[in-house]
Chain A
Amino acid sequence: MRSRRAFLKNGALALVGTAAIPSFLTRAVMAQATAASAGRKRLVVIFQRGAADGLNIVVPHAEPSYFQMRPTIAIPQGQVLDLDGFFGLHPAMASLKPLWEQKHLAIVHAAGSPDMTRSHFDAQDYMESGTPGIKATEDGWLNRALQAEDERKREAETPFRAVALTAQMPRTLEGRVRALALNNLRDFHIGGAAAPANASFAGSFEGIYDESSDPALRGAGTEMFEAAKMLKGTDPAHYVPASGAGYPKGAFGDSMKQIAQLLKANLGVEAAFADIGGWDHHQNEGSVDGQLAGRLREFSDSLSAFWTDMGTQAENVVVVTMSEFGRTARENGTRGTDHGHANVMFVMGGPVRGGRVYGRWPGLAPEQLNEGRDLAVTTDFRQVLAEAAFRQIGARDLTLTFPGAGLEPHKFLNLIA
C-alpha cells in the first residue's frame, strides 16, 4: 500500500519540507497537487449525541395517535412544515425546507439499530462501531469504509483524508486508516491560540520529530506537521464563507464551517465527522418552542449554511446524520420523553434523491409500537450508512464495513445517485 508520507515527500508537495515558504507558494503547489481531487465525492457524517426525538423532528402529523400520545409537546397541525401530506418538519427546521423542495434532502424515518439497548453509551458505541451488540469491535465503521475503498480508484492520500472536527478521535473514525482529530483549524500550529511561534522554533520541533528514533512518535509528529503546513497554506484564520452562508454561533456551526473550509481548500478530505450534543430531553422538551426547538434551529441552520457555503461544490458532497436511538412515542410525566428505539436520519447533498421520506412507516398505534412504547425500527441504520459509504467513498466491500449485517447493494434504498 502506498503511504501518504511517500506521496507527500516525493510528489509535488515535497516543497513543504522546508519550514518557511511563503504561503502563496504553498497554496499554488497544493492547488496543483490536489486539483485532481477537487471533483471527487465526499462524505460528511454527523452524530446527534443524546438520542434526538425523531417524532418531533420529522412529525407524522397525519397520525391521530401522535397528538394523543403527546398532549403538551406535539407540534400542532398548523405549525408543522408539511412535506408530503403525512410527514412534516419541526418549524425550527425551516432553513432546511428549501433543500427538500430542491430534492437535495432525503429523510429515512423509523431507522435504527437491531440492538434493543436503551443505554446512550452502548447505543452510541454500537452505532459508531457499526456492529450492534458486539462490544469487542475495536474500530469504527467509517474507518473500515475507508479501508474498504477500492484501491485502484483511490486518490492520493493526504493527512486530511479522514478528519473529525472533535477534540478526541471519535469511535466512528478509530482504526487502521490514520485520521486527524482537530476542532480548531485556526490554532493548529506551534504557539497556540494567540499567534504562531516563529518558523525557526516551530522548525526545531519538527526537526526533533522528523528524525526521532521512536517510530510511533516520528510517524504521528511528521503527519501532524504536514497537516499543519497544508492547513497554513489555506490561511485558516481568514476564512470567509460564501455570501449568504450564515453559520449560527456555537460549536456545531463552527464544525460545519470548518468542514466547508477544509473541503473547499481541496486538502484531500474524503470523509469528515462532526457531532452535536444536547438532545436528551427527559423533561420540558418543548413543542414549537423550547429546548428541542433550540437544538434543531442550530442543527438546521448549520447544515443549511454549509450547503450555501459549499455552492457548486456541494454537488459532490453527501451529509448523513444519525442519533443513537429515538425517544418514547408518549410524552412522560415531566413533559419530556424517555429513551426509545427508532429514529430519523437525514441524507443531504448534490447526488441525493431528495424530496422523499424513505423507509416503511411502522405506525404509532399501540400494537404497532416497539415493546408498547417506542417507534419500531423498519430500516437498519447500517443500510443507510453502507449506501452512503458505497457511493461516496467507494467502499464496495460491505462485509468489511459492516460485518455480519447481511447487506447487499441491490437492497439499498437508492437514496443517492
Chain B
Amino acid sequence: MTSLFAISKNIAGAVALGVVCLTISCAASAKTHASAKPAPLTKRERAEHAVDRLTFGARPGDVERVEKIGVERWIAQQLRPETIDDSALDAKLDALPAMRLSTEQLIWRYPPPTIIRQVDAGRFGMPADPVERAIYANALANYRQRRDVKTAAQTGKSSTPNVTQQQSIADANLNQSLNVANLLRMLPDARWNGMLKMQPGTVRPFVQRLSPAERQQLVAGMTARQKEVLLALVEPNRVVTEEMQEEKLIRAVYGARQLEEVMTTFWSNHFNIYLRKNGEMPWYLASYERDVIRPHAMGRFEDLLVAVAHSPAMLVYLDNQQSIGPHSLAAMRAGPDSNQKKSAPGLNENYARELMELHTVGVNGGYSQQDVVELAKVLTGWGVENPQQGYGFAFNARRHEPGTKVVLGHKIGQNITRENGTGEHGEAEGMEVLHLLANSPATARFLSTKLAMEFVSDTPPKPLIDRMMKTYLKTHGDIRQVLGTMFRSPEFWSRDAYRAKLKTPLEFVVSSLRATDADVENATALGGALDRLGMPLYGVQQPNGYSLKGDPWLGAEALLARMNFALALTANRMPGVAVAIAPNAGTAEQNEQQLEARLLDGQVAPHTHEVVLKQMESAEASPVMAAAFAKGARGKAGDPFVAAPRGVPVSEPALAAALLLGSPDFQRR
C-alpha cells in the first residue's frame, strides 16, 4: 500500500510519460496480437477506471484518494448513497429555491403561460400575496403586450396605440422614480422592493436596457429567493426551465453521491421526457427527477417503473392523459350526442407501446400490436387531475375501458378483487401489468444490456449481460445488486473496457468542471453550452432519449464545440463560472506536467503531451482571444443577471489546459 502510494505520487510528476507509454503500448499490443493476453489494469488504473465510470469525472486528487481508500471499499460506499454526507451540495442547492417547491406550488408561484391566459380571460383571479401579485401582473402585462404586437403585425398596422402606450409608460418609469443610478445605489432590499413596485410590464424592458454590469449591480447582495423573483418579473418560465437545468448540473458537479447521480441521469434518459412537449412540461419536469427518478435510482426497478407510470410528466408526455376507453362511460357519454364524430374519443397507444418497447421488455421483447392495444386499454384512466394547475396523478374510472384484457398471454385481473360490484378492476389492472413487465426476463436482459453499455462498453460482452440478468431475476430487479454484479465482473475491469467510453457532452462538460475545480456560481450558461454541444438537457423529442453509444456524439460542430468550450472555460469566459489555472511557476515542462496531473491524472498520450508542451514553449506573438461560450450569440444569452466576461488574451497555462481538455484523451472515460 505505502509503496504503491509513493509511486502514485510520482505519476503526477516526472514519471508520467513512462507510465503513459506503457499504457498505450499495452493497449496497442492487445489489439494487434489478439492471442496475447492484455495486461491487467494496474492498481492506479483500477482506481482511475472506477472513478471514470461511477462519477462524472475525477476532481484533482480523486483517483489518489480512491486508491488509498481501496477501490472496492469506495465502490461499496457509492452503492449506498444514503450513507454519504451531501451537505455541501445541499448548501449549493440553496441558490435554487424554486426547485424545492412541489409542482402545484411552483405553478402557483411562477405561473406558466396557460395560467396567465386563464387570468387574462378572467377564469383565474390574481393572487393575494404581494410578491406573487407582482409576478402575475408583469406576466399578464407582458402577455398582453406581445399579443398586441402580434395583432398589430397581422392587421398590418405598424404599431398600435397600446404598444406605444406601453413604451411611454416604460420611459416615464425610467425618468421618474427609477432613475437607474439611484436604484443601483439603494440597499439590496430597497432595490428589490423598488423593482416589485414598478408598473407591471415595465420590468422587462427596464432590465433589457441595462448594461451587463448594471444588471449585476442590480442583483448584488440579494438573496437567492429575491434574485429568483426578479427573474420571474422578467419571465417566470425562465425561473423554472433554467433552475431545473442548473440543479442537474450542480448535482453532477458537486454531489458526493456521484453514482446515484450517474444512475439518476441514466434512468432519466431511459424514461426520457421532452422539455417542450407542452407549456407546462418544465413545471412537471422539475419534480420528475427529484420525486420520481432519484429516490428509486438505486432501488427496485419495479418501484421506479410504478413511480414513472404515476408521474404527471410521463402521462402527459406520452399522451396517456388523453387516452379514453372506447366503451368507457366517458366515451359513451360523448359518443351518441353527435353524429358528426368531431373527434371520437378513443385509445391513445403511445404510452402503452413505449412502456414495452423502451421502458421494459425492449423492441424484441415478444409483444405484438394486439398487446399494445390491450395494454392501452389496461392503462385507460391513468391520468392527471387538473394538469394545468399541477395536481398529481388521478385514476379516472369513467375513462377506463371495461372488459377482459390479455397482455402478453396473461389474462389481467384474475386475482384482483373487483371494484365495488362494477365488474371492473380499475387501476389494479395497470399495477398487475407493471409487475409482470418489471419481472419479465426480457426486461432483465434489456436493462442489463443498457446498464452494461453505460458502464462497460458500447458493445458489452454477452456473458456479463447473462450474469447481470441472472442477478436481476434472482433479486426481483434490485438495481443495486445488478450494479454490484457488474462492478465485480472481470469484464468491467478488463483492459478492453478501460477508457473505452466516449464521454457524452454532459459528461464532458461536468468532468471539465470537476477537473478544473471550477466554481459554478450560476449554471445557466452551462445549460446553454450543452445546447451548442449537441445535448440540450431534456431536449430529446423522441421517447428513446440519447444514445448510449459514442458515434452520435462525433458530429463536426459538436466536436468543435468541445474544443471551444474547453478554451472558454480555461480562459474564464463561461458566464457564471470561474476556474483558477495555476500561473506559470516553473519550466514549461514542469507546468505542463502539473496540468496533466491535475486534469487527467497524468494519463495523456505522448503525442498530445508533445503538442501541448510545444504550445507552452512557443512565445506567442499574437495573443489568443477567447469568445464567451454562451447560448447563441444574440437573444437568449443565458441569465440576464450574469454577464459574459469581456474578451481578454488567454494565458499560456490556460491555453495548455484548453488543449488538454479538448484533446482526444479527455474525451474518453
Chain A residues packing against B (C-beta within 8 Å): 119-122, 124-125, 135-136, 159, 167-169, 174, 180-184, 187-195, 197-198, 200-201, 204-205, 207-209, 211-214, 216-221, 223-224, 227-228, 286, 289-290, 293-294, 328, 330, 332-333, 338, 372-373
**Smallest Cβ-Cβ distance to B625: which chain A residue:** A195
Q: Are A159 and B28 in contact (CB under 8 A)?
A: no
Tell me the bound Cα distance from A219 to B567 in angstroms: 22
* Tally of contacts, chain A with chain B, CB under 8 A: 158
Q: Are B559 and A194 in contact (CB under 8 A)?
A: no
Chain B: interface residue total (CB-CB under 8 A): 61
Contact of A180 among B154, B551, B555 (CB under 8 A): B555
Given that A168-B555, A190-B564 are contacting pairs, would A213 and B615 also be in contact in the complex, using a CB cutoff of 8 Å? no
Taking CB atoms, residues of chain B closer than 8 Å to A330 are 342
CB-CB nearest 8 A-B residue pairs: A194-B627, A192-B627, A217-B664, A182-B557, A220-B554, A289-B154, A192-B564, A212-B664
Given that A135-B357, A192-B564, A204-B659 are contacting pairs, would A213 and B28 also be in contact in the complex, using a CB cutoff of 8 Å? yes
Chain B residues packing against A (C-beta within 8 Å): 24, 28, 153-155, 319, 341-344, 350, 357, 363, 502, 531-532, 534, 541-543, 550-552, 554-560, 563-564, 567-568, 605, 607-608, 611-612, 614-615, 618, 620, 622-629, 633, 647, 655, 659, 662-665, 667-668
Tell me the bound Cα distance from A227 to B557 in angstroms: 10
Q: How far is the CB of A367 from chain B (nearest CB, A)?
A: 12
Residue among A189, A220, A224 facing the most chain B CB atoms (10 A cut-off): A220
Known contacts A121-B543, A190-B567, A204-B612, then 9 further A-B pairs from the complex at CB < 8 Å, ordered by chain A residue: A182-B556, A194-B628, A200-B620, A204-B614, A212-B608, A218-B664, A289-B154, A294-B154, A328-B343
Tell me the bound Cα distance from A278 to B350 in angstroms: 22
Tell me the bound Cα distance from A130 to B664 in angstroms: 34
Contact of B664 among A168, A174, A197, A208 (CB under 8 A): A208
Taking CB atoms, residues of chain A closer than 8 Å to B555 are 168-169, 180-182, 220
Tell me the bound Cα distance from A205 to B564 in angstroms: 10
Tell me the bound Cα distance from A182 to B533 in angstroms: 11
Contact of B627 among A195, A219, A227 (CB under 8 A): A195
Contact of A204 among B534, B611, B623 (CB under 8 A): B611
Q: How far is the CB of B647 from chain A (nearest CB, A)?
A: 6
Tell me the bound Cα distance from A373 to B622 in angstroms: 67
**Smallest Cβ-Cβ distance to A182: which chain B residue:** B557
Taking CB atoms, residues of chain A closer than 8 Å to B541 are 120-121, 124
Given that A119-B350, A190-B567 are contacting pairs, would A332 and B154 also be in contact in the complex, using a CB cutoff of 8 Å? no
Q: Are A167 and B534 in contact (CB under 8 A)?
A: yes
Taking CB atoms, residues of chain B closer than 8 Å to A168 are 534, 555, 558
Taking CB atoms, residues of chain B closer than 8 Å to A213 are 24, 28, 605, 607
Tell me the bound Cα distance from A111 to B155 in angstroms: 33
Q: Are A212 and B628 in contact (CB under 8 A)?
A: no
Q: How far is the CB of B496 from chain A (nearest CB, A)?
A: 14
Taking CB atoms, residues of chain A closer than 8 Å to B633 are 187, 193
Q: Are A205 and B563 in contact (CB under 8 A)?
A: yes
Q: Are B620 and A191 in contact (CB under 8 A)?
A: no
Taking CB atoms, residues of chain A closer than 8 Å to B153 are 294
Given that A181-B557, A208-B664, A214-B664 are contacting pairs, would A201 and B502 also be in contact in the complex, using a CB cutoff of 8 Å? no
Contact of A209 among B625, B628, B664, B668 (CB under 8 A): B664
Q: How far is the CB of A249 from chain B (nearest CB, A)?
A: 11
Given that A121-B542, A192-B626, A194-B647 are contacting pairs, would A373 and B608 also be in contact in the complex, using a CB cutoff of 8 Å? no
Q: Are B667 and A193 in contact (CB under 8 A)?
A: no
Q: Are B659 and A205 in contact (CB under 8 A)?
A: yes
Tell me the bound Cα distance from A136 to B552 in angstroms: 16
**Smallest Cβ-Cβ distance to B534: which chain A residue:** A168
Taking CB atoms, residues of chain B closer than 8 Å to A211 are 607
Taking CB atoms, residues of chain B closer than 8 Å to A183 are 557
Tell me the bound Cα distance from A218 to B607 in angstroms: 12
Contact of B560 among A200, A207, A228, A372 (CB under 8 A): A228
Q: How far is the CB of A296 from chain B (nearest CB, A)?
A: 13
Taking CB atoms, residues of chain A closer than 8 Å to B155 are 289
